[in-house]
Amino acid sequence: MISDVINLSEIKKVDPVFGQLSFDNHEQVVFCNDKDTGLKAIIGIHNTVLGPALGGTRMWQYNNEWEALNDALRLSRGMTFKAAITGLNLGGGKAVIIGDAKTQKTPELMKRFGEFVHSLSGKYITAEDVGMETADMDLVREVTPYVTGISESKGGAGNPSPITAYGVFMGMKAAAKYKFGTDILEDKKVFVQGIGHVGESLVEHLVNEGAHVVIADINEERLQDVSKKYGASIYRGDDIYSESMDIYAPCALGATVNDDTVYKIKAQVIAGAANNQLATEERHGLILQERGIVYAPDFLINAGGIINVYAELEGYDKQEIIRKTENIYNTTLEILSNAETNEITANHAALNIAKNRIETRKKENSK
Ligand code: NAD
């Protein structure tokens, strides 16, 4: 008997794609493989009612393919609602490349990935995410026009991260206003978890405002650099959530508000750049609300980056980008009071508005 015979009854227990918990009526999921460059990628296209699905590409060393698929599904769904609530005519998509960006990312691999993006004829437009640089998008641009976040010298809007950080700062200020009655962050103790492209820029805004900033990262070199540059304190413990702080800013990866952390969190406000901060949206959002912790929905306040790359498609200027990003302050305040009035979580309130916009457009499109 052959040992690797597939046991069908096992396989049927969880359907591989449509049966995943994170599958939410995604329109298309594309698996990309190229033996020569070692490329293994998954492109998730969640919804294209409002426009082409735009979302960054993440390169990450996932433990297994399920994790990668789950990330592509969750992240692409988040992009749909981010674009919708920000008032952009874009759908939601996201790509993940399985591998270590430091050692496995080559120009050939990026271009091959670009060819896969191109094969979708514009239904998906890529950009940068974790593990990607503007230079990588420039490589993708060599083989397809369906890419944003390319260098300013090549006609793009450049690295979206500083604008993302500015939007997060605006959302954080609004959440602080809601919780503390003032949006001035001077002397507030803010923990920034993840000081990469966005996190570092956020640290700069916070330090300029006089906040007491504490930084955490798994990259020791970055900790040293950012601490030296801005005078931020370094956190070296292994339980950041139990630390006493005013504001927690998750700027690394998602799902840090989960069953293990949600009851420990001492912060009174959560506002950060990471996508999908709530491991389970409704459940963890509700627990935060019951504990009196104000949560600024991630897909609402980290939209600066998508506003920046959208400018590349629509051709609007830096001033308009800044104006739209500053508006995140007003939208966050509106969502927080909407949630209170309707006795729902802030995440739920933001999702309702985003979903209504998509439904309205869907009806208009079918007329
Ligand atoms: P990045 O890769 O530049 O930075 C991520 C940082 O997090 C790195 O310094 C990394 O070492 C650190 N990190 C990873 N795991 C960690 C852990 N367990 N604890 C502490 N630090 C850890 O990524 P980025 O572009 O700054 O994006 C950060 C987050 O914001 C991501 O979730 C991304 O999806 C989201 N986001 C980014 C943008 C953008 O414009 N770049 C836009 C919207 C959302």
- Residue-wise pLDDT for 316-347, tens only, equals 788 999 999 999 999 999 999 999 999 999 99
pLDDT at 171 over 90: yes
Note if 266 is an active site residue.
Answer: no
Q: Could you tell me if the CB of 167 is within 6 A of ligand 1?
A: no
The stretch 20-27 carries a mean pLDDT of 91
> Residue 104: what residue type?
Q
**C-alpha closest to that of 193 among 161, 232, 149:** 232
The stretch 288-314 carries a mean pLDDT of 95
Report the predicted TM-score, pTM, of the whole model to 2 decimal places: 0.92
Q: Could you tell me if the CB of 216 is within 6 A of ligand 1?
A: yes
pLDDT at 3 over 50: no
Q: Which residue has the higher pLDDT, 1 or 215?
A: 215
Closest residue by Cα to atom 8, ligand 1, is 196
| pLDDT of res. 364 | 94
pLDDT bucket at 278, cuts 50 / 70 / 90 = very high
| pLDDT of res. 11 | 52
pLDDT at 8 over 70: no
Atom of ligand 1 nearest to the CA of 128: 41
> Residue 175: what residue type?
A
Q: Could you tell me if the CB of 161 is within 6 A of ligand 1?
A: yes
Atom of ligand 1 nearest to the CA of 256: 18
Atom of ligand 1 nearest to the CA of 305: 40
**C-alpha closest to that of 270 among 239, 228, 298:** 298
Which of 130, 137, 202, 270 to probe ligand 1 with, by most ligand atoms within 8 A of CB? 130
Name, in order, each residue with C-beta under 8 angstroms of 168's C-beta and a sequence gap of 6 or more.
198, 202, 249, 251, 271, 272, 273, 301, 302, 304
pLDDT at 12 over 80: no
DSSP string, 110-171: HHHHHHHHHTTTTSEEB-B-TT--HHHHHHHHTT-S-B----GGGTS---SHHHHHHHHHHH
Question: Residue ranges of the domains in the chain?
Answer: 9-77+90-158, 162-355
The proportion of the chain whose per-residue pLDDT surpasses 70, expressed as a percent, equals 96
| pLDDT of res. 2 | 38
pLDDT bucket at 13, cuts 50 / 70 / 90 = low
SS3 track for 6-56: CCHHHHCCCCCCCCCCCCCCCCEEEEEEECCCCEEEEEEEEECCCCCEECC
Taking each helix axis from N to C end, the angle separating 318-342 and 304-314, rounded to the nearest 10 degrees, works out to 130
Torsional sign, CA 160, 161, 166, 169:
positive
The stretch 37-65 carries a mean pLDDT of 97
What is the DSSP-derived secondary structure letter of residue 246?
S
| pLDDT of res. 1 | 36
Q: Could you tell me if the CB of 198 is within 6 A of ligand 1?
A: yes
Atom of ligand 1 nearest to the CA of 273: 30
Q: Could you tell me if the CB of 251 is within 6 A of ligand 1?
A: yes
Q: Which residue has the higher pLDDT, 120 or 316?
A: 120
Q: How far is the CA of 347 from the centre of ligand 1 (A)?
A: 21
Q: 223 with 217: CB under 8 angstroms?
A: yes
Name, in order, each residue with C-beta under 8 angstroms of 159's C-beta and a sequence gap of 6 or more.
128, 133, 134, 149, 197
Q: Could you tell me if the CB of 193 is within 6 A of ligand 1?
A: yes
Catalytic residue among 40, 82, 94, 188, which? Answer: 94
| pLDDT of res. 232 | 98
Q: d(Cα 95, Cα 44) in Å, to the nearest integer?
A: 6
Token representation of residue 23: 């599958």
| pLDDT of res. 276 | 92
pLDDT at 4 over 70: no
pLDDT tens for each residue of 173-225: 999 999 999 999 999 999 999 999 999 999 999 999 999 999 999 999 999 99
Q: Topology of 9-77+90-158 in CATH?
A: Rossmann fold (3.40.50)
Mean pLDDT of the chain: 94
Could you give the 3-state DSSP secondary structure of residue 83?
helix
Token representation of residue 234: 């370094």
Superfamily of domain covering 162-355: NAD(P)-binding Rossmann-like Domain (3.40.50.720)
Q: Which residue has the higher pLDDT, 293 or 20?
A: 293
Q: d(Cα 321, Cα 301) in Å, to the nearest integer?
A: 14
Q: Which residue has the higher pLDDT, 77 or 312?
A: 77
pLDDT bucket at 159, cuts 50 / 70 / 90 = confident
Name, in order, each residue with C-beta under 8 angstroms of 331's C-beta and a sequence gap of 6 or more.
85, 300
| pLDDT of res. 269 | 98
pLDDT tens for each residue of 263-277: 999 999 999 999 999
Closest residue by Cα to atom 2, ligand 1, is 130
The proportion of the chain whose per-residue pLDDT surpasses 90, expressed as a percent, equals 88
pLDDT at 10 over 80: no
Q: d(Cα 198, Cα 185) in Å, to the nearest integer?
A: 18
pLDDT at 34 over 60: yes
> Residue 171: what residue type?
G
Q: How far is the CA of 250 from the centre of ligand 1 (A)?
A: 9
Q: How far is the CA of 252 from the centre of ligand 1 (A)?
A: 4
Q: Could you tell me if the CB of 206 is within 6 A of ligand 1?
A: no
Atom of ligand 1 nearest to the CA of 219: 11
Q: Could you tell me if the CB of 195 is within 6 A of ligand 1?
A: yes
Look at the block and give the residue holding tokens 């944003």: 148
Q: How far is the CA of 251 from the centre of ligand 1 (A)?
A: 5
Q: Could you tell me if the CB of 164 is within 6 A of ligand 1?
A: yes
Which of 59, 253, 300 to probe ligand 1 with, by most ligand atoms within 8 A of CB? 253
Could you give the 3-state DSSP secondary structure of residue 90?
coil
Q: Could you tell me if the CB of 222 is within 6 A of ligand 1?
A: yes
pLDDT tens for each residue of 121-136: 999 999 999 999 999 9
Hey, do 9-77+90-158 and 162-355 end up sharing a CATH topology, with the first three levels equal?
Answer: yes
